[in-house]
Amino acid sequence: MGKIIECVPNFSEGRNKEVIDAIAQAIASVEGCSLLDVDPGMSTNRTVYTFVGSPESVVEGALNGARCAMQLIDMTRHHGEHKRLGALDVCPFIPVQGATMDDCVQCAKMFGERAALELGIPVYLYGYASNKDYRKTVPQIRAGEYEGLSEKIKKEEWKPDYGPVEFLPTWGATIAGARKFLIAYNINILGTKEQAHRLALNLRAQGRGPDQPGRLAEVQGMGWYLDEANLAQVSLNLLDYHQTNIHTAFEECVKDAKDLKLAVCGSQIVGLVPLGAMLLAADHFIENENLFILCEDQKIRLVIERLGLSSVTPFDPKTRIIEYLVDSTEDGPLVSLPLRQFIYSLGSRSSAPGGGSASAAMAAMGVALATMVGWLSYGNKKFESLDSQMRCLIPPLRQAMLDFIPMIDADTKAFSGFMEAKKLPKGTPEEEKVREKALQDGLRNAVQVPLLVIRTATKVWNPMVELAKVGNVNSKSDLQVGARSLETAVWGAFYNVKINLNDITDETFTKQVLEEAHSSLETAQEKCKEILNILDKRKS
């Protein structure tokens, strides 16, 4: 997987559509940049752009946006609710997939160096890119804002990391850095700006000062008034959603608002949000309300409703959740094929896809049938007494079904790695040694996927046995097909493990894997037989 980094530059213009669109076009025109979101704010007079790409492309995208802004934004005329230091106010780089925080630090430094050289602007580093504790956060660097920068920049301790040590009236300064995924989260209050700010002071980590810290870790916040929506907002930056997630911030705000006799009417996510944050919130509501929801799209709907995320502007998961926008999260080529084409691929004059992919597909279908029987036994008045059991049996079956799906492509991909190793040159002893190691590694990888199919199947035999005992008897033939399919899938995976082990020279590895595969195969045969016997005897 290539490295994917997110860049979320905040430009100090949220009212002039021509300027906003021009900056967006400048970013999107860079090859390798995918512009995911443009979120302007009238009251804040600020626009948040979100785009992803390789390390090199996101740096170029940010620079291109800055080049455009330099021609179109004049900070001497800028006013808005949001604090700011410059035309391109903040430019963070965030790891998304295959990238590390170190990669993002290098992006921030590369951006700072080039922006100073090519545009002649002062750049401060923050977050993981900064090694100065007193200027590591955006609020620290932004203190005094644009209006105070002309004096601040002259002080030795506030010398920029890159660029001129002078005040540029039309630009100000830019803050670039590397950070974890920040969620810009606003909670709507039917009150005044001052009341919203009072709530923000209660919640944000800094609180009212060293003697009066706030309650929520890794949270920044302030209150403002949103003229276009005619309401106040508690505006929060959640710096680490694993420590303070959106549902926690919302519920804590609601609690304090009640004490002030203020109404909370939904909330708003500015820009994009990680899928993990939405699912954490969903799990919280599901557990607290004793709900039974497994489908991801239903979990997302629950969070949108409980937090009122569409109260200011519509929240469309397809365009607001970052994982749904990043191409690398799409299904593999085999899984994406129509069933007819997948079967044609299996029947073509090619060794891949082969038995391993077919086994994973059969396993997925077998457990899918069991999951279906579980659902047909749940939420029906006739089988109401089974609801508590189904709440326990359906989740592991459904999860196994989801887990098997990517194995369809993974098996073919692993086998392709072995075939590529066979093409390596072997004309010299050194080349022969490299090729042999690559072949052994390829065989080990080829073993891992069918072995994972076997292990995943082993986890669900007991839930299938319990389902056979109590599930909707009208669907017993579906469960019979499901059990047979899963057993056949284990056999198929076993054969794939065994044939690849023949050429692996590590005898200890071979012995361990073969013992595990034999044991799991015996379990599959026993459990399948048990399920079929139970179902054969059931009349009701």
Which of 82, 240, 283, 284 is catalytic? The answer is 82
| Angle between helix 507-537 and 429-470 (nearest 10) | 20
| Angle between helix 246-259 and 193-203 (nearest 10) | 120
pLDDT of residue 453: 96
User: Does residue 532 contact residue 487 with C-beta atoms inside 8 Å?
Assistant: no
Confidence grade of residue 331 (pLDDT, cut at 50, 70, 90): low
Tell whether the model's pLDDT for residue 222 goes beyond 90.
yes
The amino acid that residue 105 corresponds to is: V
Place of tokens 């060293």: 210
Neighbours of 444 (CB within 10 A): 18
Residues 1-28 have pLDDT tens digits of 478 899 999 999 999 999 999 999 999 9
User: Cα separations (Å) of 406 from 6, 333, 450, 521?
Assistant: 25, 10, 12, 22
409 annotated active-site: no
Instruction: Give the pLDDT mean for 374-402.
Output: 93
pLDDT of residue 144: 96
pLDDT of residue 62: 98
Residues 267-305 have pLDDT tens digits of 999 888 989 999 999 999 999 999 999 999 999 999 999
Instruction: Give the pLDDT mean for 129-141.
Output: 95
For the chain, percent of residues with pLDDT exceeding 90: 81
65/73 Cα distance (integer angstroms) = 11
Tell whether the model's pLDDT for residue 340 goes beyond 70.
yes
Instruction: Give the pLDDT mean for 76-82.
Output: 95
pLDDT of residue 431: 84
pLDDT of residue 1: 47
Tell whether the model's pLDDT for residue 326 goes beyond 80.
no
Q: Which one-letter DSSP state was computed for residue 132? A: -
User: Does residue 83 contact residue 140 with C-beta atoms inside 8 Å?
Assistant: no
pLDDT of residue 397: 97
283 annotated active-site: no
Confidence grade of residue 426 (pLDDT, cut at 50, 70, 90): confident
92/123 Cα distance (integer angstroms) = 12
183-190 and 231-238 beta bridge pairing: antiparallel
Polymer length of the chain: 540
Confidence grade of residue 328 (pLDDT, cut at 50, 70, 90): very low
pLDDT of residue 327: 53
223/200 Cα distance (integer angstroms) = 6
Peptide linkage before 55 cis (omega within 30 of 0): no
Token readout for 18 is 């021509």
Token readout for 66 is 């800055």
Enter the pTM of the model: 0.74
pLDDT of residue 329: 43
pLDDT of residue 3: 86
DSSP 393-458: HHHHHHHHHHHHHHHHHHHHHHHHHHHHHHTS--SSHHHHHHHHHHHHHHHHHHHHHHHHHHHHHH
Confidence grade of residue 424 (pLDDT, cut at 50, 70, 90): confident
For the chain, percent of residues with pLDDT exceeding 70: 99
Tell whether the model's pLDDT for residue 435 goes beyond 90.
no
Average pLDDT, the chain: 93
Neighbours of 151 (CB within 10 A): 11
CB burial of 301-325 (b: ≥16 within 10 Å; e: otherwise) equals ebbbebbbbebbeebebeebbbebb
Residues 17-56 have pLDDT tens digits of 999 999 999 999 999 999 998 999 999 999 999 999 999 9
